[in-house]
A and B are shown apart, each in its own frame.
Chain A
Amino acid sequence: MNGDLKMNMVLNRNKIKVLVAKPGLDGHDRGARVLCRFLRDSGYEVIYTGLHKTAEEVANAALQEDVDVLGMSFLSGAHESYVPRILDILKKNGVDLNDMVILVGGTIPEEQFKKMIDLGVDGVFIPGAPMDEISDFIDLKIKEKRDKSSDQHYFVGTKLIKAEDLV
Chain B
Amino acid sequence: MTNKEKNVTNKEGWHKEYVKPLLETYGERKDNFKTLSGIDVDRLYTPEDIANIEYDKDISYPGVYPFTRGPYPTMYRGRIWTYRMFSGFGLAEDTNKRWHMLLKDGETGLSTAFDFPTLMGRDSDDPLAMGEVGKCGVAIDTFEDFERLFEGIRTDKVSSSFTINPPAAVIYGMYNALADVQGVDRKILRGTIQNDMLKEFHAQNTLVLPPRPSLKIIGDIFEFGVDTNPKFNLISISGYHIREAGSTAVQELAFTLADGMAYVVLAKERGIDLNRIGPQLSFFFNSHNDFFEEIAKFRAARRIWARFMREEMRTTNPEAWKLKFHTQTAGCSLTAQQPLNNITRTTIQALAAVLGGTQSLHTNSFDEAWALPSDEAARVALRTQQIIAYESNIANTIDPLSGSYFVENLTSWMEEKALEYIDYIKEMGDGNILEGEFVGIDQEYFIKEIGDSAYEDQRNIEEKKRIVVGVNEFTLEDERLTVPLLQINEEELRRIQIERIEEIKERRDTKEVESALEEIQTAADEDKNVMPPIIRAIKALATEGEIVGVLKNVYGIWAKPTLL
Question: Interface of A with B (CB < 8 Å)?
Answer: 24-30, 33-34, 36-38, 40, 46, 48-52, 54, 76-78, 80-82, 85, 107, 109-111, 126-128, 130-132, 157-158
Query: How far is A82 from B472 in the complex, measured between Cα atoms in Å?
Result: 31
Q: Is the CB of B485 within 8 A of A109?
A: yes
Q: Is the CB of A128 within 8 A of B562?
A: no
Query: Contacting chain A: which of B119-127, B226-234, B269-277, B508-516?
Result: B119-127
Which residues of B lie under 8 Å from residue A33 when comparing CB positions?
451, 454, 564
Q: Which residue of A lies closest to B245 (CB)?
A: A30
Query: How far is A52 from B206 in the complex, measured between Cα atoms in Å?
Result: 10
Query: Contacting chain A: which of B170-178, B332-340, B403-411, B524-532?
Result: B332-340
Task: Pull 15 A–B residue pairs with CB atoms less than 8 Å apart, ordered by A.
Answer: A24-B116, A24-B128, A25-B117, A27-B200, A30-B246, A51-B560, A78-B132, A81-B131, A107-B369, A107-B370, A107-B371, A111-B485, A127-B334, A131-B462, A158-B337
Query: How far is A80 from B244 in the complex, measured between Cα atoms in Å?
Result: 24
Q: Which residue of B lies closest to A130 (CB)?
A: B462
Which residues of B lie under 8 Å from residue A46 when comparing CB positions?
564
Q: Is the CB of B454 within 8 A of A30?
A: yes
Q: Is the CB of A82 within 8 A of B562?
A: no
Query: How far is A50 from B246 in the complex, measured between Cα atoms in Å?
Result: 18
Query: How far is A107 from B462 in the complex, measured between Cα atoms in Å?
Result: 20
Given contacts A33-B454, A34-B246, A76-B136, contact A126 B116 (CB under 8 A): no
Least CB distance from A105 to B in Å reads 11
Q: Is the CB of A54 within 8 A of B336?
A: no
Which residues of A lie under 8 Å from residue B458 when comparing CB positions?
34, 38, 131
Q: Which A-B residue pairs are the 10 nearest by beta carbons?
A: A81-B131, A27-B205, A25-B116, A50-B562, A78-B131, A110-B481, A126-B336, A77-B135, A128-B471, A36-B564
Q: Is the CB of B131 within 8 A of A29?
A: no
Given contacts A30-B245, A48-B562, A54-B127, contact A132 B462 (CB under 8 A): yes
Asked if B488 is at the interface (CB within 8 A of a chain A CB), the reply is: yes
Given contacts A37-B564, A128-B468, contact A82 B462 (CB under 8 A): no
Query: How far is A88 from B433 in the complex, measured between Cα atoms in Å?
Result: 49
Q: Is the CB of A158 within 8 A of B479?
A: yes
Q: Is the CB of B336 within 8 A of A25?
A: no
Q: Is the CB of B490 within 8 A of A51?
A: no
Which residues of B lie under 8 Å from residue A107 when comparing CB positions?
369-371
Which residues of B lie under 8 Å from residue A77 when comparing CB positions?
132, 135-136, 371-372, 488, 490
Least CB distance from B466 to A in Å reads 12
Which residues of A lie under 8 Å from residue B335 when comparing CB positions?
127-128
Query: How far is A1 from B161 in the complex, measured between Cα atoms in Å?
Result: 46
Q: Which residue of B lies closest to A26 (CB)?
A: B116
Q: Which residue of B lies closest to A81 (CB)?
A: B131
Q: Is the CB of A51 within 8 A of B135?
A: no
Q: Is the interface of B mostly helix, strand, loop or mixed?
A: loop
Least CB distance from A164 to B in Å reads 16
Q: Is the CB of A76 within 8 A of B371?
A: no
Q: Is the CB of B337 within 8 A of A128?
A: yes
Which residues of A lie under 8 Å from residue B119 when comparing CB positions?
25
Most chain-A CB neighbours within 10 Å: which of B122, B372, B468, B471? B471
Which residues of A lie under 8 Å from residue B481 when comparing CB positions?
109-111
Asked if B445 is at the interface (CB within 8 A of a chain A CB), the reply is: no
Query: How far is A24 from B206 in the complex, measured between Cα atoms in Å?
Result: 12
Least CB distance from A114 to B in Å reads 13
Query: How far is A159 from B462 in the complex, measured between Cα atoms in Å?
Result: 17
Q: Which residue of B lies closest to A78 (CB)?
A: B131
Which residues of B lie under 8 Å from residue A126 when comparing CB positions?
336, 369-370
Of the residues A30, A80, A109, contact of B490 by C-beta under 8 Å: A80
Which residues of A lie under 8 Å from residue B116 when comparing CB positions?
24-26, 76, 78
**CB-CB contacts below 8 Å: B121-152 with A:** 122, 127-132, 135-136
Q: Is the CB of A81 within 8 A of B490?
A: yes
Which residues of B lie under 8 Å from residue A128 when comparing CB positions?
335-337, 369, 461, 468, 471
**CB-CB contacts below 8 Å: B24-47 with A:** none
Asked if B215 is at the interface (CB within 8 A of a chain A CB), the reply is: no
Which residues of A lie under 8 Å from residue B468 when comparing CB positions?
128
**CB-CB contacts below 8 Å: B479-497 with A:** 479-481, 485, 488, 490-491
Most chain-B CB neighbours within 10 Å: which of A48, A54, A127, A130? A127
Least CB distance from B556 to A in Å reads 15
Asked if B315 is at the interface (CB within 8 A of a chain A CB), the reply is: no
Which residues of A lie under 8 Å from residue B207 when comparing CB positions?
27, 51-52
Q: Which residue of A lies closest to B368 (CB)?
A: A107
Query: How far is A38 from B562 in the complex, measured between Cα atoms in Å?
Result: 16
Q: Which residue of A lies closest to B481 (CB)?
A: A110
Q: Which residue of A lies closest to B335 (CB)?
A: A128
Query: How far is A36 from B455 in the complex, measured between Cα atoms in Å?
Result: 10
Q: Which residue of A lies closest to B462 (CB)?
A: A130
**CB-CB contacts below 8 Å: B518-564 with A:** 559-562, 564
Q: Which residue of A lies closest to B488 (CB)?
A: A77
Of the residues B122, B205, B337, B479, contact of A29 by C-beta under 8 Å: B205
Least CB distance from B205 to A in Å reads 3
Most chain-B CB neighbours within 10 Å: which of A25, A26, A77, A158? A25
Which residues of B lie under 8 Å from residue A109 when comparing CB positions?
370-371, 481, 485
Q: Is the CB of B455 within 8 A of A37?
A: yes
Most chain-A CB neighbours within 10 Å: which of B205, B332, B454? B205
Which residues of A lie under 8 Å from residue B479 when comparing CB positions?
158
Given contacts A50-B562, A76-B116, A131-B462, contact A27 B332 (CB under 8 A): no
Given contacts A51-B559, A109-B485, A131-B462, contact A30 B244 (CB under 8 A): yes
Q: Is the CB of B485 within 8 A of A40?
A: no
Contact with A along B370-402 (1 / 0, CB 8 A): 111000000000000000000000000000000
Which residues of B lie under 8 Å from residue A111 when comparing CB positions?
481, 485
Which residues of B lie under 8 Å from residue A127 when comparing CB positions?
334-336, 369
Asked if B60 is at the interface (CB within 8 A of a chain A CB), the reply is: no
Which residues of A lie under 8 Å from residue B562 when comparing CB positions?
48-50
